[in-house]
């Protein structure tokens, strides 16, 4: 891996627990009985030889070619694990291309033609660890998870498969439709962590972000966080917000233009305005923080989302949410309220209109507070940052 790629990999958001420790083992590669497992170098050399043999089967039947690829993946994962995550494999990009294409096809087959709830169940079954029987989906998931964490070129090959939009579609289904079973196994948690980390890796590169915009999956996911609060899946709530925050913090112009074109901010504000009086204050604050986070993060690149917030129901919604806390007894600190207040403070530096104060105001003022009297009129103004110029950038 080049130094630049190492630096980018270190900068990527990391979902808690997404390392491979404690993850269920996939089928192990076959080694001669009684012999010690080869070292990392020997494993990579063995993988390269077998991969060249696999490429020669390209003219065989699709089923044989796919099975040959699946037979390679346990050896790839074994070599990766024994090398402490350092990949020494010349054919890495080709492996990434074929593996991500295969996973994309399997997800498409699981989703196509099914009602949403059945599609959610099928996607979950595909990626779930099932022990020694039919673990192809899990094997593909774990392999692509590893591949997206290597370098930019490899991640680009994964992005070209169409997998980013499919993963976002799966995330929407997982979030919107709760699990029917009450019991969660450790393997379910590990699958979730790998799935989310894959999306975070994809969000760390421009080519990955661009592939999230091919359909309406991102719009559906953003709006779902603001209108399905009571019925969404608790198990997938935190991961969903984590992925959306990573997309927000990418400061990508294409993302901003997409959100504007799809009316994501406008529709989200409308949904939250309807729910603000019926949901618990912390839940409303959390959802508002997510939407306002997109507004704040996009502002250095474009003021478009900020203007949508100002011209829409943004400020009335903020007032409504803050008033929900009036009279509530807080037994502990509400982190969502603290974040919301930080965002309100940020808004005071970016508003289009100055805050006007008048000499006739009789409300208590801080000691030492003085008005700046302008020669031209009877009012003074207090403003911060770009607001003093009358408009945002």
The per-residue pLDDT for range 117-136, each reduced to its tens digit, is 999 999 999 999 877 656 89
Q: Name the residue among 154, 126, 152 with its Cα closest to residue 141.
A: 126
Query: Mean pLDDT across the chain, nearest whole number?
Result: 83
Is the whole model's pTM more than 0.85, yes or no? no
- Res 105 pLDDT > 70: yes
Report the pLDDT value the prediction gives residue 132, as an integer from 0 to 100. 64
Report residue 38's pLDDT band, with 50, 70 and 90 as the boundaries. Answer: confident
Question: Of 148 and 2, which is predicted with more confidence?
Answer: 148
Q: Using one digit for the tens of pLDDT, what is the confidence trace for 345-368?
A: 898 876 555 444 445 555 555 556
How does 248-268 read in b/e, with b if 16+ C-beta sit within 10 Å?
bebebeebbebbbebebbbbb
Report the pLDDT value the prediction gives residue 71, as an integer from 0 to 100. 94
Q: Is 346 exposed, middle or buried (0-12, 13-18, 19+ CB in 10 A)?
A: middle
Per the CB < 8 A criterion, the answer to whether 13 and 203 are in contact is yes
Report residue 278's pLDDT band, with 50, 70 and 90 as the boundaries. Answer: confident
3-state secondary structure 52-78: HHHHHHHHCCHHHHHHHHHHHHHHHHH
Q: Is 150 exposed, middle or buried (0-12, 13-18, 19+ CB in 10 A)?
A: buried
Round to whole Å and give the CA distance between 3 and 10.
11
Q: Using one digit for the tens of pLDDT, what is the confidence trace for 293-341?
A: 999 999 999 999 999 999 988 999 999 999 988 877 766 668 899 999 9
- Rounded to 5 degrees, what are φ and ψ at 12? -65, 145
Report the pLDDT value the prediction gives residue 99, as an integer from 0 to 100. 97
Whole-number percent of the chain with pLDDT over 90: 59
- Res 342 pLDDT > 70: yes
Q: Which helix (H) or strand (E) holds 379?
A: strand 379-382
379: tokens are: 């009012």
Q: Mean pLDDT: which of 25-34, 231-240, 289-298, 378-387 is highest?
A: 289-298
- Rounded to 5 degrees, what are φ and ψ at 127? -90, -10
In sequence order, the 6+-apart residues with CB closer than 8 A to the CB of 175 are 221, 224, 225, 232, 233, 236, 237, 240
- Res 161 pLDDT > 50: yes
Please report, for the chain, the start and end positions of each structural domain, with discontinuous segments joined by +. Answer: 3-214
Report residue 372's pLDDT band, with 50, 70 and 90 as the boundaries. Answer: low
Report the pLDDT value the prediction gives residue 109, as an integer from 0 to 100. 96
C-alpha distances (whole Å) from 21 to each of 25, 190, 240 are 10, 9, 23
- Res 183 pLDDT > 70: no
Question: Of 38 and 99, which is predicted with more confidence?
Answer: 99
Residue labelled with tokens 């089967």: 57
- Rounded to 5 degrees, what are φ and ψ at 175? -75, -40
Average pLDDT, integer, range 36-61:
87
- Res 14 pLDDT > 90: no
Q: Is 293 exposed, middle or buried (0-12, 13-18, 19+ CB in 10 A)?
A: middle
Round to whole Å and give the CA distance between 290 and 334.
15
Report residue 370's pLDDT band, with 50, 70 and 90 as the boundaries. Answer: low
Alpha helices of the chain — where are they, by DSSP H? 3-11, 40-55, 62-82, 92-111, 116-127, 136-148, 152-160, 163-176, 186-203, 206-210, 217-227, 234-248, 253-261, 264-275, 281-298, 304-311, 314-324, 335-347
Round to whole Å and give the CA distance between 73 and 272.
45
- Res 237 pLDDT > 80: yes
Report the pLDDT value the prediction gives residue 57, as an integer from 0 to 100. 79
Report the pLDDT value the prediction gives residue 80, as an integer from 0 to 100. 94
Q: Name the residue among 286, 197, 212 with its Cα closest to residue 247.
A: 212
Round to whole Å and give the CA distance between 111 and 217.
14
**Alpha-carbon torsion (82, 87, 91, 92), positive or negative:** positive
Residue labelled with tokens 């990949």: 87
């Amino acid at each position: 891996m080049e130094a630049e790629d190492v630096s980018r990999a270190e900068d990527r958001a990391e979902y808690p627990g997404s390392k491979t420790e404690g993850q269920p083992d996939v089928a192990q590669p076959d080694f001669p009985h009684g012999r010690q497992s080869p070292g990392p170098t020997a494993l990579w050399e063995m993988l390269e030889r077998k991969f060249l043999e696999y490429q020669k089967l390209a003219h065989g039947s699709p089923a044989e070619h796919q099975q040959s690829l699946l037979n390679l993946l346990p050896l790839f994962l074994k070599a990766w694990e024994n090398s402490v995550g350092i990949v020494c494999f010349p054919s890495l990009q080709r492996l990434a291309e074929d593996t991500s294409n295969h996973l994309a096809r399997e997800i498409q087959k699981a989703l196509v033609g099914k009602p949403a709830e059945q599609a959610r169940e099928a996607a979950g079954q595909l990626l779930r660890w099932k022990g020694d029987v039919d673990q192809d989906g899990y094997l593909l998931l774990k392999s692509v998870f590893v591949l997206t964490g290597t370098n930019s070129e490899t991640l680009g090959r994964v992005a070209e498969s169409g997998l980013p939009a499919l993963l976002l579609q799966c995330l929407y289904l997982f979030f919107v439709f709760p699990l029917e079973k009450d019991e969660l196994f450790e393997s379910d948690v590990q699958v979730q962590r790998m799935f989310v980390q894959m999306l975070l890796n994809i969000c760390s590169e421009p080519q990955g972000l661009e592939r999230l915009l091919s359909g309406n999956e991102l719009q559906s996911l953003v709006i779902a966080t603001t209108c399905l609060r009571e019925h969404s899946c608790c198990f997938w709530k935190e991961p969903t917000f984590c992925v959306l925050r990573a997309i927000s913090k990418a400061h990508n112009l294409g993302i901003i233009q997409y959100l504007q074109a799809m009316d994501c901010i406008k529709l989200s504000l409308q949904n939250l305005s309807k729910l603000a009086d019926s949901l618990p204050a912390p839940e409303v604050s959390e959802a508002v923080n997510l939407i306002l986070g997109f507004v704040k993060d996009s502002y250095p690149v474009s003021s478009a989302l900020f203007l949508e917030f100002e011209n829409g129901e943004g400020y009335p919604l903020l007032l409504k949410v803050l008033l929900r806390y009036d009279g509530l007894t807080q037994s502990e600190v509400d982190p969502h309220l603290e974040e919301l207040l930080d965002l309100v403070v940020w808004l005071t530096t970016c508003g289009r209109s100055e805050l006007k104060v008048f000499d006739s105001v009789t409300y208590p003022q801080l000691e030492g507070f003085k008005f700046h009297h302008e020669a031209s009129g009877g009012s003074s103004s207090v403003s911060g940052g770009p607001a003093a110029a009358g408009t945002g950038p």
